[in-house]
C-alpha cells in the first residue's frame, strides 16, 4: 500500500501520524515534472507504481513484466531509466521527468511535434518511453546518425510502426531542438 500527500513536501506532524498509520511505509519526497511530491511507500513499491497509482501520471506505461519493453521509461536525475526496475525508495530526493512534463502548456516539445508530424506513433503505447529515451540519447548525440538512434532505442519495443518512422521523427525532432537551441 502506498499513500501520498501531494500538498506539502515538508515533514509534518501529519506525515508522522500517517507513517504511524501505515507502519510498513517510508515517507519519500520526489520532484516530478518540477513539482515536489511526498508519498509513503512500501519497500517493494516500484517507481512506475508510484507515478501511475499515487500521482496519477498514467502516461508512463507498463507493457511487460520482464523489464524489456521500455514503455515505462522516465528520466531520473536526467538519465533514462525503466521505472519498473527502480524502487520508489531509490528515487527519494530525485528529480523525475515523465511524458506529462514535456510540453509547455499547449505547446508540444519539439520531439512530440516531430513524432506527430512524421507518424512516429500508431497506437501510441510505446511513445512516452520512446520520446524519453530519445531525449536522453539527444543529450549525448544532438545530431544522431540512424545507427546511434537505433542503438539508443535498443531497450524500447514498438509493435506498430516498424521503427522507420520513429527514427525519422527523432532525426526531425533533433533538428528542431538544435534550431531552438541556436
Ligand atoms: S514495463 Fe516493460 S520495461 Fe518497464
Ligand atoms: S505505436 Fe503502437 S506500440 Fe509503438
- Among the bound ligands, name the one nearest to the CA of residue 61: 1
Distance 71 CA to ligand 2 centre (A): 9
- pTM summary value: 0.89
Rounded to 5°, the CA angle 50-55-56 comes to: 110
pLDDT at site 180: 86
Mutate to test the pocket of ligand 2, among 120, 129, 159, 165 (most ligand atoms within 8 A of CB): 159
Write out the three cell numbers for 134: 530519445
Residue ID of nearest Cα to ligand 2 atom 4: 158
Examine the domain organization and report whether 93 and 39 are in the same domain.
yes
Examine the domain organization and report whether 19 and 85 are in the same domain.
yes
Examine the domain organization and report whether 96 and 14 are in the same domain.
yes
Ligand 1 binding pocket includes 143 (Cβ within 6 Å): no
pLDDT at site 154: 95
Examine the domain organization and report whether 75 and 135 are in the same domain.
no
Examine the domain organization and report whether 95 and 122 are in the same domain.
no
Last residue of a domain, one of 101, 120, 153: 101
Distance between CA atoms of residues 161 and 163, nearest Å: 5
Residue 159 alpha carbon, nearest atom of ligand 2: 3
Examine the domain organization and report whether 91 and 122 are in the same domain.
no
Which residues constitute the domain of residue 138? 110-181
Last residue of a domain, one of 101, 123, 138: 101
**Residues in the chain, overall count:** 182
Examine the domain organization and report whether 12 and 77 are in the same domain.
yes
Examine the domain organization and report whether 49 and 79 are in the same domain.
yes
Distance between CA atoms of residues 54 and 3, nearest Å: 7
Q: Which of 150, 131, 138 is nearest to 180 (CA)?
A: 138
Last residue of a domain, one of 77, 101, 125: 101
48 DSSP β-pair partners = none
b/e per residue 140-164 (b: at least 16 CB within 10 A):
eeeebeeeebeebbeebbbeebebe
**CATH number of the CATH domain containing 124:** 1.10.150.120
Tell me how many domains the chain contains: 2
At 107 the three-state DSSP class reads strand
pLDDT tens series, the chain, 182 aa: 444 444 444 556 666 566 666 669 999 999 999 999 999 999 999 999 999 999 999 999 999 989 999 999 999 999 999 999 999 999 999 999 999 999 999 999 999 999 999 999 999 999 999 999 999 999 999 999 999 999 999 999 999 999 999 999 999 999 999 998 88
**CATH number of the CATH domain containing 92:** 3.10.20.30
Residue 61 alpha carbon, nearest atom of ligand 1: 1
User: What count of Cα atoms within 13 Å lies in the side-chain half-sphere of residue 108?
Assistant: 12
Q: Are 117 and 172 in contact (CB under 8 A)?
A: yes
Amino acid at each position: 500500500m502506498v499513500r501520498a500527500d501531494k500538498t506539502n513536501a515538508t515533514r509534518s506532524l501529519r506525515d508522522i501520524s500517517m507513517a504511524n498509520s501505515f507502519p510498513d511505509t517510508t515517507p519519500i519526497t520526489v520532484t516530478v515534472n518540477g513539482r515536489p511530491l511526498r508519498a509513503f511507500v512500501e519497500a517493494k513499491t516500484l517507481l512506475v507504481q508510484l507515478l501511475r497509482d499515487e500521482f496519477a501520471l498514467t502516461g508512463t506505461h507498463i507493457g511487460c513484466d520482464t523489464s524489456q519493453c521500455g514503455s515505462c521509461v522516465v528520466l531520473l536525475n536526467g538519465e533514462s531509466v525503466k521505472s519498473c526496475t527502480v524502487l520508489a525508495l531509490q528515487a527519494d530526493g530525485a528529480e523525475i521527468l515523465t511524458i506529462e512534463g514535456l510540453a509547455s502548456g499547449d505547446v508540444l516539445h519539439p520531439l512530440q511535434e516531430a513524432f506527430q508530424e512524421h507518424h512516429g506513433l500508431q497506437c501510441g503505447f510505446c511513445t512516452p518511453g520512446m520520446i524519453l529515451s530519445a531525449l536522453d540519447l539527444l543529450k549525448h548525440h544532438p545530431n544522431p546518425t540512424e545507427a546511434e538512434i537505433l542503438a539508443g532505442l535498443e531497450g524500447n519495443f514498438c509493435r506498430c510502426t516498424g521503427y522507420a518512422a520513429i527514427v525519422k521523427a527523432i532525426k526531425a525532432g533533433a533538428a528542431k531542438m538544435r534550431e531552438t537551441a541556436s
